[in-house]
């Protein structure tokens, strides 16, 4: 069983974002969830949790427990904005991301090791990427299925990194409270505890029939979960719809070579992001804005999805020329690919030539990952890079 399923859960997300945006709040008990006594706590920082404050607790009670706490109303737009950027990091590693909530996701890493190393290395990189970009900590769990991965992310929270390997499942699960099992709410836990079943280990002493008699269908589910068996798939519920890049120039430009160099540079970025996400697109789009802010977008569909720089670049030039978009100085230029689908074997095998280009592109990606964006530069882009 491979450790292909990852659960990523941000630590005290709303409170941590408040502390990130206002460093004076760092190390202080921050409680997000309204300032009126009638509301409930949505997130408490770990400093506030020390006083017993937790999510869903009435604000009035939180104020009694932690009178010197800093109570904030919450800024959901800001949290969504940070969340989107965190998910963008996740999508760099795999397109198979299931968003559970604003700060929580499952990832299926099957097939990612070729590009990014094994699951443990990917987990470390994701944690580091999030920390380096925001100074925020995520807790990460790795296992062979969703139930175990979620349990794992909770084991060492905050700033956790925990792996549940096949051989350790029983040892780790058996001492845990039955309430730790996904879907065991207060009521189910009460029924179980009234029968003396307080841990997952105790739960395993019941037969599947006994559990079904006690709890119906849910009992059957618990029989399997208590043994670490969970066949749910990671469901892609928030797919990326397009990948694009645009640039506004310092001053309006009309030099054709300069425009084409920018276009190539952007095509490289877009194709690289597609390859990182394991995606290909069947629609290529250009966007152009002139000095007076009039804006045009033009697109073309292609029969075989691509993530190749040269194809994206050539189609973008075609669109600009066919629509005579280069006859005035331009302020902004953009290129994008949409109509996305997962990269399949047909993209690799359609043309032998494509296969070579694919390999070349992936090699260039790896070199750039290691040595930086400018380590490999195409001839056309050289002047452009020099002038930056």
Cβ 18 vs Cβ 30: under 8 Å = yes
Among residues 130, 83, 88, 100, the alpha carbon closest in space to that of 5 is found at 100
Looking at the Cβ atoms of 33 and 281, the one nearer to Mg ion is 33
Least distance (Å) between residue 162 CB and Mg ion: 15
Least distance (Å) between residue 310 CB and Mg ion: 42
Looking at the Cβ atoms of 18 and 103, the one nearer to Mg ion is 103
Q: Residue 241, CB half-sphere, CA atoms under 13 Å: how many?
A: 1
> How far from chain centre, in Å, is Cα 185?
28
Looking at the Cβ atoms of 100 and 377, the one nearer to Mg ion is 100
Least distance (Å) between residue 138 CB and Mg ion: 8
Cα separation, 191 vs 222, in Å, equals 13
**From the candidates 18, 47, 98, 104, which is the catalytic residue?**
104
Cα separation, 325 vs 321, in Å, equals 6
Applying CB under 5 A, the residues found at the interface with Mg ion are 9-10, 13, 103
Least distance (Å) between residue 12 CB and Mg ion: 7
Identify the three-state secondary structure at position 172: helix
> How far from chain centre, in Å, is Cα 359?
26
Least distance (Å) between residue 42 CB and Mg ion: 11
Looking at the Cβ atoms of 18 and 343, the one nearer to Mg ion is 18
Looking at the Cβ atoms of 13 and 313, the one nearer to Mg ion is 13
Tokens of 323: 């629509």
Tokens of 226: 């208590």
Looking at the Cβ atoms of 140 and 274, the one nearer to Mg ion is 140
Tokens of 94: 């795999």
Cβ 130 vs Cβ 15: under 8 Å = no
Looking at the Cβ atoms of 13 and 106, the one nearer to Mg ion is 13
Cα separation, 146 vs 129, in Å, equals 22
Question: Helix H segments across 167-255?
Answer: 169-173, 186-194, 200-203, 208-215, 217-225
Looking at the Cβ atoms of 12 and 225, the one nearer to Mg ion is 12
Least distance (Å) between residue 291 CB and Mg ion: 46
Cβ 329 vs Cβ 322: under 8 Å = no
156 is an active site residue: no
Cα separation, 102 vs 105, in Å, equals 8
Q: Starting at the earlier edge strand, list the strands of the sheet with 97-101.
A: 97-101, 104-108, 5-10, 138-143, 161-163
Cβ 82 vs Cβ 64: under 8 Å = no
Least distance (Å) between residue 130 CB and Mg ion: 12
Phi, psi of 329 (to 5 degrees): -60, 140
Least distance (Å) between residue 10 CB and Mg ion: 5
Cβ 140 vs Cβ 167: under 8 Å = no
Distance between the two ends of the chain, CA-based, in angstroms? Answer: 49
- Catalogue the active-site residues: 104
């Amino acid at each position: 069983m491979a450790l292909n399923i990852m659960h990523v859960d941000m630590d005290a997300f709303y409170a941590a974002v408040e502390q990130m945006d206002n460093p004076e709040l760092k190390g202080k008990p921050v409680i997000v969830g309204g300032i009126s006594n009638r509301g409930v706590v949505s997130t408490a920082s770990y400093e506030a949790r020390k006083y017993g404050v937790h999510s869903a607790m009435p604000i009035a009670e939180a104020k009694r427990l932690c009178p010197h706490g800093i109570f904030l109303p919450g800024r959901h737009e800001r949290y969504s904005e940070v969340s989107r950027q965190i998910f963008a990091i996740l999508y760099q590693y795999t397109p198979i991301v299931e968003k559970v909530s604003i700060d929580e996701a499952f990832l299926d890493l099957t097939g990612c090791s070729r590009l990014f190393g094994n699951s443990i290395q990917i987990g470390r990189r994701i944690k580091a990427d999030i920390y380096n970009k925001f100074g925020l900590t995520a807790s990460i769990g790795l296992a062979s299925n969703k139930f175990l991965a979620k349990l794992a992310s909770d084991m060492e929270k905050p700033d956790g990194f925990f792996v549940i390997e096949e051989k350790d499942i029983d040892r780790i699960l058996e001492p845990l409270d039955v309430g730790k099992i996904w879907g065991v709410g207060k009521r189910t836990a009460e029924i179980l505890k009234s029968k003396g079943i307080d841990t997952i280990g105790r739960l395993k002493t019941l037969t599947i029939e006994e559990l079904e008699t006690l709890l119906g269908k849910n009992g059957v589910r618990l029989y399997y979960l208590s043994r670490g068996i969970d066949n749910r798939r990671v469901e892609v519920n928030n797919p990326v719809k397009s990948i694009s890049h645009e640039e506004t120039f310092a001053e309006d430009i009309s030099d054709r070579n300069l425009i084409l160099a920018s276009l190539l540079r952007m095509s490289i970025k877009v194709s690289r992001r597609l390859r990182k996400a394991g995606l290909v697109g069947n629609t290529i789009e250009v966007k152009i804005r002139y000095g007076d802010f009039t804006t045009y977008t033009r697109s073309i569909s292609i029969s075989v999805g691509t993530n190749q720089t040269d194809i994206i670049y050539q189609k973008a030039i075609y669109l600009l020329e066919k629509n005579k978009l280069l006859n005035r100085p331009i302020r902004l230029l953009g290129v994008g690919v949409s109509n996305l689908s997962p990269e399949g074997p047909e993209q690799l095998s359609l043309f032998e030539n494509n296969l070579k280009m694919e390999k070349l592109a992936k090699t260039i990606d790896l070199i750039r990952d290691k040595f930086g964006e400018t380590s490999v530069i195409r001839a056309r882009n050289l002047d452009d890079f020099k002038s930056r």
